[in-house]
Structure 1
Amino acid sequence: MIDHYTLLVRDYARSKAFYTTVLEPIGYGLVVELTRETVKSLGVPVTCGFGTNKPDLWIAPSEGEIAPTHIAFLAASRAEVDAFHRTALAAGGRDNGPPGVRAYYHPNYYGAFILDPDGYNIEAVCHSGE
């Protein structure tokens, strides 16, 4: 089980605004923002975490190369998956797979995929049959 994950991003302010908007339909929000003065061990000037009651996803600026990454967020319903996809597209994300059943994973796998401003493959998924 993964407790949290950090994405390195090219434009911190843009990614912070993007994730603040895009994660809201599935119940995630900005939980905390830290500066280098707060956590000196990070080695970055600023970082912020998104989650429900604790940070699950962190973003931090990077001046170097970033590697392709896929992250899937659990949604409570198919309607949340649909709202995530719509919101992500409206916020500047690019479609990487519209909402729908992916029965090749399992019969109730309902997911949607977008590419964030850095090209990361971000998914919302619901596993219940509705």
Structure 2
Amino acid sequence: MFDHIGFGASDLPASKSFFVQALAPLGVGVVMEGDYGVGLGLPGKPSLWLHQDDLPPTPLHLAFTASSRALVDAFYQAALAAGGQDNGPPGLRPHYHANYYAAFVIGPDGHNVEAVCHLP
């Protein structure tokens, strides 16, 4: 349903570094950048926009699709290495559905960042 989403960061360079490193296993990287901020996404299409904001942002829950459970695991390790805090290690979450495999990390500004694979 969404084409893209954008939000402010209290420290844009730190947020950019976190998201670039954490989402690299999912194929996400910087696709646009300028005075307006940074656009991350799959090659050629920014889907996540970050910009500097002096106001503290409200923490969000951001879930990113992974095409395999191994990529969920890789996201989790990369996000922790990027400075994220564990908020749920990789594993099945059958209370959502039988094949819901996800990992959760708290990133910059308190955002709950998730990678999820819906495949068996």
TM beyond 0.5: yes
Amino-acid identity (%):
50
Q: TM-score, normalised by structure 2?
A: 0.96
What's the C-alpha RMSD, in Å, of the aligned pairs? 0.8
Is the counterpart of residue 122 in structure 1 residue 113 in structure 2? yes
1:18 corresponds to which residue? Answer: 18
Q: Which has the larger radius of gyration?
A: 1
Q: TM-score, normalised by structure 1?
A: 0.88
Q: Which structure 1 segments of 5+ residues have no match?
A: 36-45
Q: Structure 1: which 4+ aligned runs deviate by more than 2 Å?
A: none
1:85 corresponds to which residue? Answer: 76
The alpha carbon displacement at 1:34 in A equals: 2.0
Q: In the TM superposition, what are the counterparts of 1:89-108 in structure 2 within 5 Å?
A: 89-108=80-99
The letter of the residue matching 2:109 is D
Q: Which structure 2 segments of 5+ residues have no match?
A: none
The alpha carbon displacement at 1:9 in A equals: 0.6
Q: Distance in 1 between matches of 2:15 and 2:62?
A: 15
Figure out how many residues of one structure are paired with residues of the other and give that number. Answer: 119
Q: Distance in 2 between matches of 1:33 and 1:20?
A: 13
1:69 corresponds to which residue? Answer: 60
